[in-house]
Amino acid sequence: SATMAEEAEVVRNFKEWMEKNEKGAIAVAAIHALTTMIKTSGASTIMELEILLKAAQEQLQEMKFEGQRSKVIQLTAACELFARHVTRTALDIGDFEACKQRLIERGMRFAEQADVSRAVIAENARPFVRDGMAILVHGYSNVVCGCLQHAAKSGVRFKVIVTQGQPECDGFKTASTLQEAGIPVEMILDTAVGYVIQEVDMVLTGAAGVCESGGIINKIGTFQVAAIAKEAKKPFCVASESYKFCRLYPLSPTDLPDAEKEQPPRVEQGIKIRQPPSDFTPPSHITLLLTDIGVLTPSAVSDELIKLYY
């Protein structure tokens, strides 16, 4: 069927774009793929287009990322934002062809904005990184590395303490990325955060998704780092693109979307080993969110979501 063929094409376009843009953002790739689908689709009404987009979104959400953490939250947020664009544009413009043109333009513009959002965040984060600081980073995040590289380029001298980031141990990727940029780095065990917290001036992490409450879903251990930072009265800042703002409202550290939920434990030497991939850090533990639409307090996130969606 046409939908099946076009759906498969969406996934293919997505993967091609990701291969071309190694450091590219998942959301940008999704918008690219959806925009391309609108360009090439044989749909002749908005209704058909919306059905196609819904099907494509489901297919993108099914994708598996080998050896990486789930990207479902980002994908869903990007697809839902795009679907909002479609409905809005359809209401503004009655004529289907004109509407289709406008959607393609908007899609391209969204992708461009999303592309520069990391640079904007780095600029917004700049005043928070000061000479002589020790900054604690948990796991790997493109945005966080971008912020720190930008600060170092601007002549700020600081050091970074990186957690190992079990189970993927992506702290090593962070450490080598920052060291290449001439930033002094020290690595610690995930369990040593409490031990070093007094030396730390600020914690900076990324996010897989920013929830409606202003809390974040992120790599496992983030909540633990935040709890220790809060107890030691150290600022806990999150660098995140606004396209990761998602309409989720978790109520506890385990209240996560299916893709981020804990899988059954693996067994080694007869011992059950649990490996939850992500946790939820409540807004009460977050000082500021450094985003491309400004520096926000957690409580400002729901207002921004309303602006993005309505």
| Complete DSSP assignment for the chain | -HHHHHHHHHHHHHHHHHHH-TT--HHHHHHHHHHHHHHH----SHHHHHHHHHHHHHHHHH---TTS---HHHHHHHHHHHHHHHHHHHHH---HHHHHHHHHHHHHHHHHHHHHHHHHHHHHHGGG--TT-EEEE-S--HHHHHHHHHHHHTT---EEEEE--TTTTTHHHHHHHHHHTT--EEEE-GGGHHHHGGG-SEEEE--SEE-TTS-EEEETTHHHHHHHHHHTT--EEEE--GGGB-S----STT---GGGSPPPPEEETTEEE----EEEE-GGG--EEEETTEEE-GGGHHHHHHHHH-
Nearest Cα to Cα of residue 37 among 9, 2, 75? 9
Residue labelled with tokens 């640079």: 119
Q: Kindly report, residue by residue over 177-226, the tens digit of the pLDDT.
A: 999 999 999 999 999 999 999 999 999 999 999 999 999 999 999 999 99
Nearest Cα to Cα of residue 162 among 209, 111, 132, 206? 206
CB-CB contact of 107 with 82 (8 Å):
yes
Statement: residue 160 has pLDDT above 90: yes
pLDDT at 132: 98
pLDDT at 116: 87
CB-CB contact of 276 with 266 (8 Å):
no
Statement: residue 68 has pLDDT above 80: no
pLDDT at 269: 95
Range name among 49-63, 123-137, 138-152, 206-220 with the lowest pLDDT average = 49-63
Question: Pairing state of beta strands 202-205 and 134-137?
Answer: parallel
pLDDT at 297: 96
Once rounded to an integer, what is the mean pLDDT over residues 34-61?
Answer: 86
Residue type present at position 27: A
Give 66's pLDDT tier (boundaries 50, 70, 90): low
Statement: residue 1 has pLDDT above 80: no
SS3 for 207-236 is CCEECCCCCEEEECCHHHHHHHHHHCCCCE
How remote is the C-alpha of 289 from its chain's centroid? 12
Give 69's pLDDT tier (boundaries 50, 70, 90): low
pTM over the 0.95 mark:
no
Statement: residue 65 has pLDDT above 80: no
End-to-end CA distance of the chain: 34
What is the rounded average pLDDT for all residues in the chain? 89
pLDDT at 94: 72
1: exposed, middle or buried (Cβ count in 10 Å: 0-12, 13-18, 19+): exposed
Q: Kindly report, residue by residue over 228-283, the tens digit of the pLDDT.
A: 999 999 999 999 998 888 888 887 777 887 778 888 999 999 999 999 989 999 99
